Amino acid sequence: MTDVVATAPAQITPALRARRELPTWRLLLRRPSFVIGAMILLFWIVCAVFGNAIAPHDPLAQNLLSINKPPSAAHWFGTDSLGRDVLSRVIVGARTILIITPLATLLGTVLGTALGLAMGYFGGWLDTLVSRLVEAVLALPAVIIAFLFIVALGASITTLIIVIGFIFTPLIARTVRSAVQVERQLDYLSSARLLGERPMRIMFVEILPNVIPTVVVEFTVRLGYAIFAVATLAFLGFGVQVSTPNWGSDINASYGLLGAGFWWTTLFPALAIAFLVIAINLVADSVQQAAAG
Amino acid sequence: MARYLLRRLGLAVVTLWILSLIVFVAGQILPGNPARAVLGPLAAPSAVRALDHQLGVDRPLVTRYLGWLGGLLHGYMGKSYAYQSAVEPFIRAALINSAKLGALALVIIIPLGILGGVVAALNYGRAVDRVISLTGSSAATVPEFVSGIVVIVVFGVTLKVLPVTAAAGAGAPFLTQLRYLILPAVPLVLVLFGYIARMARAGTIEALESDYARTATLKGLKRSVVIRRHILRNSLLPTITVIATQTGYLIGGLVVVETLFNYQGIGKLIFSAAIAKDFPMLEAGVLTIGVVYMIATLAADMLTFSLNPRLRVEGLE
Amino acid sequence: MTGPGQADRAGQAPATSIEPAASPTTLQVSHVDVKYRVRGRDRLALHDVSFHIGRNESYGLVGESGSGKSTMALALTRYLPRNGRVSSGSISIGGRDPLAMNRSALRDLRARTVSMVYQEPGKALNPSIKVGRQLGEVFEIAGSDKADAALRSEAMLRTVQIADPGRVMDAYPHQLSGGMAQRVVIAMALAASPSLLILDEPTTALDATVEAEVLDLVAGLRDKLDTSVLFISHNLAVIAKMCDRVGVLYAGELIEEGPASEVFDQPRHPYTVGLLRCIPRQGQRKDHGRLDAIPGFLPQPGDQLAGCIFAPRCPIAVQQCRDAPPPAFDVGPGRTSRCYRHDETSGLPRSTPADVQLPAPATSAEPVVTMRNLSKTFASKGGHVAALAGVNLDLGLGETLGLVGESGSGKTTLARLLLGLTAPDQGSAISLDGKPLGADLAHRGREQLKALQIVFQNPDSALNRRHTVRRLISRPLVKLAGLSGTALQDRLMSLVASVRMEERHLSLRPSQLSGGLKQRVAIARAFGGSPRIVVCDEPTSALDVSVQAAILNLLADLQAKERVTYLFISHDLGVVRYLSDRIAVLYLGRIMETGPADRVFAGPHHPYTEALLSAVPSLDGQRRTRIKLAGEIPSAASPPSGCVFHTRCPRRLSSGICESTEPPLAEVEPGHLMSCHIPLDELRIMQNIGASDDNRAPEP
């Protein structure tokens, strides 16, 4: 029997009629981790958009007379095996990743949320069936699934977006499903049913708004994993085969030379990836903290 | 206990079967003709057809699936298209290699991750906690090849203290093998640390804020005793499951690290098989990873079951 | 011999109770302030609180949510959360100051001197360690070895009246019922023979009959073990039963203090008066001797008030009250009150009228809802659980049927079946206005959906926190009443007015409203579609006592205005009696008794009803002898044979018929049905033997 009078929570913090709204920009701006992360992210976005204007040299310009030169005054990051300026390639290389990853994550989030809502709300055979499928698929490491699909479908921007989006869908669906199951315990859903509301409306108008904070957090977290995935695939040789420079592909082309001591062509793109990922992670973490408290 | 075990085993078998279906079907979808892949683009179509027939690729789908499944149940994994010999030895060798690397990573990451998570939880909200949490989540999203490259450049190229390949050579003594495996293990540890530490932290926080922790403290117990005797056994239960779910990754997901460090693990094997359209090798490899994962999660389930009285002993209702 | 400030059992201390006492006092709290740091600012949770507890004395701390009573308990054992601290004042337990102790002294204090018992007993025990080990730990801290600790643990379990201590020692917490778990926690608390036992809402989560037993246990043990008790609760009746002296907390201040019986009979502070008027007592009904609400709201934390903290809500506040906070006046031996006008508290003006005219429920022959052979069985791990078995019940037009029962009685299941949230078993039949009602929501038409609505217990759960109040109330108007445009607007505003809310509330979200306001929104929503029947499922249980009264009266007024029928579910018998015209008593999914409220309460009644009524503590003093029920509520998965109550019935017939045959629900008096083998006249004799000890006549 649980007829607990509302005493416990009020005792720890004096009874607040608190306005607990969505994380406001002001809350986020107060966090140093958010500010740092956002600034780094902004830097890369600028690079992606204005890359060609900022880069000191043409990233595509080959110069077979000065291949594999270490960093110097003329080329801060050195040159690669075709004489191209590494710094310029790093700057412009932001573009591909920053196009693919948000779109892929968005796709996965939208599909995953819809699936999670359905699984959590309807339960029953739908939930069991899809859960079994998801578990079977998740037995395999994501990177294997990803490259199996890419091998089959070829690596283009569209396929990368679709494949990564599809891989994220079950992961996000799982989280959304848990959140929906928490909501199902609450009485407002019974109230909605008693009004004769239809399931679609209940899922999207009643449950979804309460689940949005979870979705937002998932989105920001998965963004980091999307970069992980795109970069990894590029490293394995499945980078987008276009002429624009691509961090992962550049590493793929040059890591064999590491043993011989040619480190700059590999290290700088790698560091670029690292910084981007950390930046997104700081932002995601701040959003998570702000949403929780 | 037995009933629970049987049920989990049954579920695992079903999931494996679904996996085998998925793998087989996926293999068929991959474009490219195996015989053509073997013989090359200049071979005559009749030769390709003959090889197809010899490989058994032209039989109907269902027959092929059943034949494959039947073979598996007898321990026969099929014949590699590319190498024209049994798949099994390759898989076995690669599995052992990956297992060594994975095991090393596990040995490092379990105590490190749990310690990090528990320390973070005990200092909830303070600087130590923020640092550990942020480090963990950041490290987890840095791709393995990135961290791999960084350590190669620092330790392998610049400082020259550790080798930049992972394979020590046939028959090398244990310690030497270890020395070669350290650098490749670093990216794995970084990726997993965040995940495991986060679970350990969440579990410990929940236990710290629980009513029974309050009871234990108010009994007059020392804080260290409260943590050791009351908190840890409840907080680490979910961490066990998490560790098990990462074994799939630790065995089959090492393709990047194996590529970077030139190590013949099972991830790399699958990778090359996919590119070479060597379906039997590919399917066998993927299924092997699936089996390893199932075994690991089953073991974790059993461990959780035996450690959690609420599952083991019948409650009131 | 009594020292200064020390009250003996009869409560006749010669001086004020604020002066520091000699060390035989177990607990001394002097001018204590407790602050919490929230979002960078300090918030005062307790202000200038002073009281003391003598040896072997039982002191009750009473207050609603936000009063700070639990904060006090935490402060005493120095277990405040990280952002809380005792910012001024002093505490002395057995002569020692917990605030100044080092860690090992504090551990010693917690181990030997002070023990606490909290609300949810199941959660207070470590789920992974056997009960025996956890209990033994207390003895081990005191120096015993393992074997000795085990022996003493078993003995302790016997002391708390656990029948099979060996089995319980070997069990895990999740295998124990709530009552059993709380006994174990009490055993752990008393094992070290502490001089001070602090109980913070120890029985709130328990059923009425279990609660009574736990309270009896605590009272008995206290005498035996010579322990002082600090009893914290929002339930005044429990405090009245258990405590010698009581202190009333309001918004962090101790506004009145004194011997319990005196404070509750003749309160000397307007808040205490108001509080007592919110609790339904004997003789009070929804139309006669109404409950009175306390207007206004609790002060917001961080509000700086210049004068008396209760002044904004006080009906007799004057300028002096608002200018300076009143000191604690001496108003009698051992009594204080923080009120300038403490002499004028009797005859305090009410804020709502005491008597109103409410139309009586129509006595037309046809009930508006009939339930026949209503059953609901759930499949579960061990087999089938019959939550409801063959229930026959009618709801008359415009009446309030109070549904009473403990956990496992099936009252929630009944409500859900009626509403269509789940489908009943085959063979069950519910009809509305003579026409059969669809088994579940999918099979009911719009008119039927309109007719049945509910007010849930917990408004935080029942209102979608992302929707505005406007949307929450409008939706039923659109969906069920089919309104739009100006008709919608008009009806919306009239609904808002009828639940006594204001237009400005419409744009807010539930998280910005107080508990009482939220429940009003839920009520407005329930009435939006002009229902015929409203199920009220513990509508005031999650609310503070002072808010409860307003909501109950609102429900009564709305019923009169809209001529709806209520199915009123509650575990609080006082509230049920206040509001209901008829009562139905459920036990283990079966109806034990149905009848007019006054007949069911006055008796003769079913033995279970009798036990239930005797178990509930009442501010009116113990009129009935306590009927102790043997054993625990049986599991619904394996109900007893024959009459399901026979295993615990103190009036079980020796002929054995109670074990073999289930008694039919038969009419023993006009309109009064009972399911018992004992004839009414025999019951009257049996139960009157107890009633004749008092000289009071059975109440109407």
Are C33 and C71 in contact by the 8 Å Cβ rule? The answer is no
Residue B33: the pLDDT is 66
Q: Give yes or no for residue A100 having a pLDDT over 80.
A: yes
Residue % of chain B over a pLDDT of 90: 17
Residue B137: the pLDDT is 86
Instruction: Give how many domains chain A has, as a whole number.
Output: 1
H or E element at residue C375: strand C369-380
Q: C565-569 and C533-537: which strand pairing?
A: parallel
CA distances (Å), A256 to each of A87, A145, A259, C237, in order? Answer: 20, 25, 7, 82
Q: Measured between CB atoms, does C71 come within 8 Å of chain A? A: yes
Q: Tokens for A185?
A: 């315990």
**Superfamily name and number for C369-587:** P-loop containing nucleotide triphosphate hydrolases (3.40.50.300)
State the count of interchain CB pairs (< 8 A) between A and C: 125
Residue A118: the pLDDT is 94
Residue C621: the pLDDT is 67
Are C555 and C504 in contact by the 8 Å Cβ rule? The answer is no
- Going across the sheet that includes C383-395, the strands are C383-395, C369-380, C429-432, C435-436
Residue C18: the pLDDT is 46
Most confident of A143-147, B76-80, B120-124, C305-309: B120-124
Which chains have 3 or more CB–CB distances shorter than 8 Å to chain B?
Answer: A, C
Indicate yes or no: CB of C234 within 8 angstroms of CB of A5.
yes
C321 conformational bin, left if phi > 0, alpha if psi -120 to 50, beta if neither = alpha
A40: distance to nearest CA of chain B, Å? 14
**Confidence tier at A221 by pLDDT (50, 70, 90):** confident
CATH number assigned to the domain covering C10-14+23-265 = 3.40.50.300
Question: Which residue type sits at C275?
Answer: L
Q: Tokens for A105?
A: 């994550």
- Give the domain range for residue A255: 39-53+73-292
Instruction: Please report the DSSP string for C235-291 in residue order.
Output: -HHHHHHH-SEEEEEETTEEEEEEEHHHHHHS--SHHHHHHHHTS--TT-BTTBS--
In chain A, residues with a C-beta closer than 8 Å to the C-beta of C529 are: 195
**Confidence tier at B129 by pLDDT (50, 70, 90):** very high
Query: Could you tell me the sign of the dihedral formed by the alpha carbons of C88, C92, C93, C97, in that order?
Result: positive
Residue C623: the pLDDT is 60
Are C537 and C569 in contact by the 8 Å Cβ rule? The answer is yes
User: So where are chain C's domains?
Assistant: 10-14+23-265, 285-347, 369-587, 603-694
Q: Give yes or no for residue A66 having a pLDDT over 70.
A: yes
In chain B, residues with a C-beta closer than 8 Å to the C-beta of C128 are: 233-234, 307-309
Lowest-confidence range among A199-208, A257-266, C237-246?
A257-266
B125: which residues sit within 8 A by CB, 6+ positions away?
none
Which chains have 3 or more CB–CB distances shorter than 8 Å to chain C?
Answer: A, B
Q: Give yes or no for residue B317 having a pLDDT over 50.
A: no
- Going across the sheet that includes C84-93, the strands are C41-53, C27-38, C84-93
- Between B199 and C13, name the one with better pLDDT: B199
Instruction: Tell me if A98 is assigned to some domain.
Output: yes
Indicate yes or no: CB of A187 within 8 angstroms of CB of C456.
yes
Instruction: Tell me if A60 is assigned to some domain.
Output: no
Residue C382: the pLDDT is 67
Residue A12: the pLDDT is 28
Identity of the residue in A8, A13, A196 whose CB atom sits nearest the CB atom of C479: A196
**Confidence tier at A206 by pLDDT (50, 70, 90):** very high
Q: Tokens for C448?
A: 């039927």
Cα gap A282→B20, rounded to integer Å: 39
Cα gap B120→A245, rounded to integer Å: 40
Instruction: Please report the DSSP string for B56-106 in residue order.
Output: TTTS-HHHHHHHHHHHHHTT---B-TTTSSBSHHHHHHHHHHHHHHHHHHH
Q: Measured between CB atoms, does B295 come within 8 Å of chain A? A: no
Q: What is the mean pLDDT of residues A213-238?
A: 88
CB atoms inside a 10 Å sphere around CB B100: 17
Cα gap A289→A285, rounded to integer Å: 6
Identity of the residue in B220, B233, B315 whose CB atom sits nearest the CB atom of C110: B220
C65: distance to nearest CA of chain A, Å? 5
Residue A123: the pLDDT is 87
> Which of A1, A13, A20 would you mutate first to test chain C, the one with the most C CBs within 10 A?
A1
Residue B27: the pLDDT is 67
Instruction: Tell me if A8 is assigned to some domain.
Output: no
Instruction: Tell me if A274 is assigned to some domain.
Output: yes
Q: What is the mean pLDDT of residues B118-129?
A: 91
Indicate yes or no: CB of C421 within 8 angstroms of CB of A194.
yes
Q: What is the mean pLDDT of residues A58-78?
A: 84
**CA gyration radius for chain C?**
26
Q: What is the mean pLDDT of residues A121-150?
A: 82
State the count of interchain CB pairs (< 8 A) between A and B: 139
- Three-state SS string across C521-541, please? HHHHHHHCCCCCEEEEECCCC
Q: What is the DSSP letter of A85?
A: B
The CATH number of residue A203's host domain is: 1.10.3720.10
Q: Where are the alpha helices (DSSP H) in C129-232?
A: 131-141, 146-159, 165-169, 178-190, 208-225
Indicate yes or no: CB of B316 within 8 angstroms of CB of C176.
yes
Identity of the residue in B210, B219, B317 whose CB atom sits nearest the CB atom of C137: B219
Instruction: Tell me if A31 is assigned to some domain.
Output: no
Are the folds of C10-14+23-265 and C369-587 the same? yes
Smallest CA–CA distance from C440 into chain A, residue: A194
Identity of the residue in B218, B230, B317 whose CB atom sits nearest the CB atom of C110: B218
Nearest CA to B255 out of B239, B275, B241 is that of B275
Q: What is the pLDDT of residues B238-278, one digit of tens each?
A: 888 788 878 777 887 788 888 888 888 888 888 888 877 78
Instruction: Tell me if A30 is assigned to some domain.
Output: no
Q: Which ipTM score applies to this complex? A: 0.83
Which chains have 3 or more CB–CB distances shorter than 8 Å to chain A?
Answer: B, C
Residue C450: the pLDDT is 92
Residue A211: the pLDDT is 93
Instruction: Tell me if A157 is assigned to some domain.
Output: yes
Residue with tokens 């059992």: C9
Instruction: Tell me if A26 is assigned to some domain.
Output: no
- Quote the pTM value: 0.85
Indicate yes or no: CB of B134 within 8 angstroms of CB of A144.
no
Query: Could you tell me the sign of the dihedral formed by the alpha carbons of A6, A10, A16, A20, in that order?
Result: negative
Query: Could you tell me the sign of the dihedral formed by the alpha carbons of C486, C489, C495, C500, in that order?
Result: negative
Q: Measured between CB atoms, does C117 come within 8 Å of chain A? A: no
Q: Measured between CB atoms, does C246 come within 8 Å of chain A? A: no
C593: distance to nearest CA of chain B, Å? 27
**Confidence tier at B51 by pLDDT (50, 70, 90):** confident
Tallying the residues shown for chain B, one arrives at 317
Smallest CA–CA distance from B164 into chain A, residue: A259
C103: distance to nearest CA of chain B, Å? 9
Are C27 and C92 in contact by the 8 Å Cβ rule? The answer is yes
Q: What is the mean pLDDT of residues B70-91?
A: 77
Positions in chain C short of pLDDT 70 = 1-24, 301-302, 363-365, 382, 621-624, 689-700
